[in-house]
Amino acid sequence: MKARRLDDGGMSVILDHREWRIFSALLAQYASGLDRPPPPSHSSKDPLIEESNTWLREMQATHRQNLVKRAATWLETGSSSSTEDSSQKMLRLSGHDVEWMLQVFNDLRVSHWMLLGCPNEVDLKGEKWTEAQLPSVWSMGLCGMFQSLLLQALNGSGKPGDPSGDELTP
């Protein structure tokens, strides 16, 4: 994956065929509305706090639905173009697109973490995963990798004119 921050605050990302398939599969997974266990509920005796919590959960659900719809639309419209090398795909992302991608990858990563039972970092490394859990383990790791690479490009590497940031690899 090659990522370069553009002068307008956007980003240019070039993915090889394998990276593009993984990237698209993760977005498709998100667009399909991956089931996410509900967060623990904290009930309160104060009706005002309970009303606020209900409103917050509704707003979060609406925001997530909008992200899911955007992922589905993005996949349908094929928001990429081929480079001169047909084995690569190029993404031209605005600043808002980058923020949206980071939200999607984080939401997907956290969803898989919750599906795995919220393991701590030590458990993640030493756990004996079942075959049914492996897709969540892989998806969680891949989302983290894409997030890291996008953030690395945003935070300095990959600035225009910075040859050291031309290629960001996991």
Q: Report pLDDT for 152.
A: 92
pLDDT, average across residues 82-100 = 82
- The answer to whether residue 163 sits within a structural domain is no
Q: Report pLDDT for 67.
A: 86
Inform me whether the pLDDT recorded for 161 exceeds 60.
no
CA distance 15 to 87: 9
Q: Report pLDDT for 30.
A: 87
Q: What is the pLDDT of residues 33-67, one digit of tens each?
A: 776 666 666 666 788 888 888 888 899 889 888 88
- The answer to whether residue 142 sits within a structural domain is yes
CA distance 60 to 76: 24
If one counts the domains in the chain, the total is 1
Secondary structure element (H or E) that encloses residue 148, with its range: helix 134-154
Render the burial of 30-44: b for 16+ CB within 10 Å, e for the rest: bbeeeeeeeeeeeee
pLDDT, average across residues 134-150 = 93
The H-assigned helical ranges of 42-133 are 47-77, 95-115, 121-126
- The answer to whether residue 102 sits within a structural domain is yes
- The answer to whether residue 162 sits within a structural domain is no
Please give the residue range of the domain that contains residue 80.
2-39+48-156
